[in-house]
Structure 1
Amino acid sequence: MPSNPVIAYLSLGSNAGNRRENLRKAMQLFCGEGIALRCTSSIYETEPVDNTDQGWFLNCVAEVSTTLEPLALLRKLQRIENQMGRERTVPKGPRTLDIDILLCGDVVLQSDELTLPHPRMLERRFVLEPLREIAPALPLPGTAKTVEEAFQQLRDPAQVRRLEPGFITIPG
């Protein structure tokens, strides 16, 4: 366990069931036990990528403080996905909840279970647009770019619509 908390960025998405409630509930579940929610982006409605024969997603990015090592964080988030009814039967298919670790401090990691920074984050508008909203000047480990610079160079034509009201509130 890291001696000091690190800042991590998580991408959350849902396109099955009550999408907004799924995002809110996931954040409520991951708070505590080594994770503290610092802020969230607005919620964005986004068209599906790869497998386009499914409903649109609601996506957001959460900035968290964590004392968990990256693999322990991944396992905790996967348990929450499973608890929320995530089924992995159709690759890239509909999901009640999908949580990806985008960044975890300045960690650069490649293992069978986890790659950090997230290997496709620089190619995905549904990730970079909400991340840009909350951390535009954040340097991206392993690159010479900030989030804003990566967003400006993005060539993803996917539709992304910011919804109002933007931020998810977690009852305290």
Structure 2
Amino acid sequence: MTATAVTAAVGLGGNVGDVGQALASALAALDALPGTRLLRASRSYRTPAWGLQSQPDFINAAATLQTTLAPRALLDALLAIERDHGRERAADGSRWGPRTLDLDLLVHGDAVIDAPGLVLPHPHLHLRAFVLVPLAEIAPDMEVPGHGTVRALLAGVDAEGVVALEPPRGASA
């Protein structure tokens, strides 16, 4: 039996090392996952640190994928890609610190899941401009289950401080 492909959205970010190279490498790794194809990737954005604010600004982007991987399998693959890029998670479980690469599974089709280690849609997606701005660039009409479209969610947050670092893909200089 062949698994049905769904559209998933992934948030990418980092603030340690060569983040631009890490994001490009992560996008290639996402496209190489079994049963998965990269559909679109946003440009990169500089964003103020969130949560723990006494750290360097982040570079963030978003990607959409077509995948036959189940949500948990896709999340496990994202975590493996992070580890391959030197991501070390704090032993004490603290969040929002500096990182070489952060990959968040934002949406997986119309899945709504609340399980240990996996919550879909991402529990803070609808509140975070640093995720919504790049995601709106590539998937403004994507439905975030239980919240509405990405475009509508972006209209409800303060996106000040989220600055594009490159022209839109396909634009001439």
Q: TM-score, normalised by structure 2?
A: 0.90
Contact 1:10 / 1:103 at 8 angstroms: preserved in 2?
Answer: yes
1: CA distance between counterparts of 2:53 and 2:109?
32
Ranges in structure 2 where 5+ consecutive residues have no aligned partner:
none
SS at structure 1 position matched to 2:56: coil
In the TM superposition, residue 113 of structure 1 has moved relative to its aligned partner by 1.2
Runs of 4+ in 1 over 3 A off after TM superposition: none
SS at structure 1 position matched to 2:73: helix
Contact 2:15 / 2:58 at 8 angstroms: preserved in 1?
Answer: yes
After the TM superposition, which of the residue ranges 81-90 and 71-80 deviates more from structure 2?
81-90
In the other structure, the counterpart of 1:162 is 164
In the TM superposition, residue 29 of structure 1 has moved relative to its aligned partner by 1.6
- RMSD (Å) for aligned C-alpha atoms: 1.8
2: CA distance between counterparts of 1:157 and 1:34?
34
In the other structure, the counterpart of 1:111 is 115
2: CA distance between counterparts of 1:64 and 1:52?
30
After the TM superposition, which of the residue ranges 81-90 and 121-130 deviates more from structure 2?
81-90
1: CA distance between counterparts of 2:125 and 2:49?
15
Question: Identity over aligned residues, as a percent?
Answer: 41
In the TM superposition, residue 36 of structure 1 has moved relative to its aligned partner by 0.9
In the other structure, the counterpart of 2:64 is 63
**Structure 2 residue 95 is the aligned partner of structure 1 residue 94:** no
In the other structure, the counterpart of 1:151 is 154
SS at structure 2 position matched to 1:37: strand
In the other structure, the counterpart of 1:170 is none
Q: TM-score, normalised by structure 1?
A: 0.90
Ranges in structure 1 where 5+ consecutive residues have no aligned partner:
168-172
Amino acid corresponding to residue 13 of structure 1 in structure 2: G
